[in-house]
């Protein structure tokens, strides 16, 4: 459990509940609505205050060998579920692959098929890159940004936004996606990790290039973690699916060395490919695993 030392600050009853939530074998960087309500009641606090409280726990999952700067983020979904994210940096790879905590938490919510996001609590004020990333969200105009000293709307800190509509696109991140890649699903019915990567690609968000991509990682204990390609109107802050998958694995108390198999699925018609960058990133975190590549029609 990466947050063991931090939770020692709380009473025995709260410590026990946090340990149960964060150390459960089923924990995947998420606590569900009923668990949120129980924990808020136990701490005698509001859900928004709980989001801020949990930042001290969540930021312990940060991987920061370059910046020495820990950041955590907690997203509240429309369902009432909390999704966690922390910043990640990768030694030996370009800084382009740095994953911000806000991106990680949003990717976590996307992976779990959350319908929308109502608020995000952050350790620090989101950088301009993260503000741009958040503006891609469906309902971004109503998104609350919860900081230690104040609560903002996203538009408070993005006064002159640029987004999908500026490029003539009506789709928004967190809307339900079906990219039509499952018509030949039966061809892969005997390989569950391929099916998971295929499903991730089918749900990936790519309204600008229509280049669909998804990653699935199998761990030594037979758990599967997926990541979806997520584009952005600003293009070069689009999220590689490997980054999302690695983040989801990290938030689940696992190590990158626990990966035993990695697959990327892409549409054969993609004009933008994630394969090379996904393979490079996998090699940096676990050079013992080769990236398997599958292209579908």
Roughly how many angstroms between the first and final C-alpha of the chain, as a whole number?
42
Furthest CA-CA distance within the chain = 56
Contact yes or no for 227/241 (Cβ under 8 A): yes
Measured in degrees and rounded to the nearest 5, phi and psi for residue 5 equal -65, -35
Length of the chain, please? Answer: 297
Q: Is 102 among the catalytic positions?
A: yes
122 DSSP β-pair partners: 73
Q: Which residue from 169, 173, 103, 166 is spatially nearest to 140, judged by alpha carbons? A: 173
- Give the contacts of 293 (CB within 8 A, at least 6 positions apart): 263, 264, 266, 275
For residue 205, the number of C-alpha atoms closer than 13 Å in the C-beta half-sphere is: 27
Catalytic residue among 17, 35, 38, 102: 102
Q: CA–CA separation, 199 vs 260, rounded Å?
A: 20
Query: What are the phi and psi torsion angles at 219 (to 5°)?
Result: -100, 170
Q: Tell me which residues are annotated as active site.
A: 102
């Amino acid at each position: 459990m990466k947050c063991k030392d931090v939770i020692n600050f709380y009473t025995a009853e709260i410590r026990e509940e946090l340990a149960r939530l964060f150390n459960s074998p089923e924990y995947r960087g998420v606590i569900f609505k009923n668990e949120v309500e129980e924990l808020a009641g136990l701490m005698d606090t509001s859900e928004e205050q709980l989001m801020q409280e949990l930042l001290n726990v969540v930021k312990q999952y940060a991987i920061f060998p370059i910046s020495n700067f820990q950041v955590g983020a907690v997203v509240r979904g429309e369902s009432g579920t909390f999704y966690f994210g922390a910043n990640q940096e990768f030694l030996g790879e370009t800084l382009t692959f740095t994953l911000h905590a806000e991106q990680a938490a949003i990717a976590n919510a996307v992976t779990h098929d959350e319908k929308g996001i109502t608020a995000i609590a952050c350790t620090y004020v989101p950088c301009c890159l993260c503000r741009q990333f958040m503006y891609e969200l469906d309902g971004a105009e109503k998104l609350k940004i919860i900081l230690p000293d104040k609560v903002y709307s996203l538009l408070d800190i993005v006064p002159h936004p640029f987004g999908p509509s500026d490029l003539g696109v009506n789709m928004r991140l967190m809307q339900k996606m079906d990219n039509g890649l499952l018509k030949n699903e039966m061809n892969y019915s005997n390989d569950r990790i391929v099916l998971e990567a295929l499903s991730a690609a089918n749900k990936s968000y790519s309204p600008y290039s229509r280049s669909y991509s998804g990653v699935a990682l199998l761990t030594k204990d037979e758990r599967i973690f997926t990541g979806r390609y997520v584009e952005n109107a600003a293009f070069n802050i689009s999220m590689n699916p490997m980054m999302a998958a690695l983040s989801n694995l990290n938030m689940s108390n696992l190590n990158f060395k626990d990966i035993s198999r990695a697959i990327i699925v892409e549409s054969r018609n993609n004009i933008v490919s994630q394969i090379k960058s996904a393979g490079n990133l996998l090699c940096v975190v676990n050079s013992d695993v080769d990236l398997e590549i599958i292209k579908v029609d």
